[in-house]
Amino acid sequence: QVQLVESGGGLVQAGGSLRLSCVASGRTFSNLSMGWFRQAPGKEREFVAAITLTGGMTYYADSVKDRFTISRDNTKNTVILQMNSLKPEDTAVYYCAAKRGYYSGNYYKYAPRYDYWGQGTQVTVSS
């Protein structure tokens, strides 16, 4: 089993920044591909960003490209989502997710392909 704990959410004005962290425990972190998803009220959970086992490749949703950056530190079992230039439409609960092993093709963007999930952290961007 893997436990994922997110932190760093909060309330910020449009144009501001937040840094989300997700700490993993219970399994060798370097064997986990990691992703961030978000879910706004009344909407489906959507892909935000993903990073491969060693951090060599990163992937982003078009809506956050050039504003968000995903990174990982395998020595600290941590994945980070740095969010800049936040917009009101970024308001959502953000979830950290982990997948055992490598991503296959573009599976990184599909929530059912992930094996473990955190409890979520609320991000609210005011206009």
| Inter-residue contact 1 to 26 (CB < 8 Å) | yes
Both tokens assigned to 30: 């370097």
Q: Average pLDDT, stretch 5-34?
A: 95
Instruction: List the one residue out of 98, 81, 65 whose CA is nearest residue 7.
Output: 81
Does position 27 have pLDDT exceeding 80, yes or no?
no
CA-CA-CA-CA torsion for 30, 117, 119, 5, nearest 10 degrees? -10
Given this model, what pLDDT does residue 2 score? 94
Length of the chain: 127
| Burial letters 12-28, b for 16+ CB under 10 A, else e | beeeeebebbbbbeebe
Given this model, what pLDDT does residue 116 score? 97
Q: Average pLDDT, stretch 34-63?
A: 96
DSSP letters, 48-81, are EEEE-TTS--EEE-TTTTTTEEEEEETTTTEEEE
Q: Is 106 left (phi over 0), alpha (psi -120 to 50) or beta?
A: alpha
Both tokens assigned to 85: 């230039």
Kindly state the helix (H) or strand (E) to which residue 10 belongs, with its residue range. strand 10-13
Does position 33 have pLDDT exceeding 80, yes or no?
yes
Given this model, what pLDDT does residue 19 score? 98
| Inter-residue contact 67 to 52 (CB < 8 Å) | no
Does position 82 have pLDDT exceeding 90, yes or no?
yes
Given this model, what pLDDT does residue 76 score? 95
pLDDT category of residue 106 using cuts at 50, 70 and 90: confident
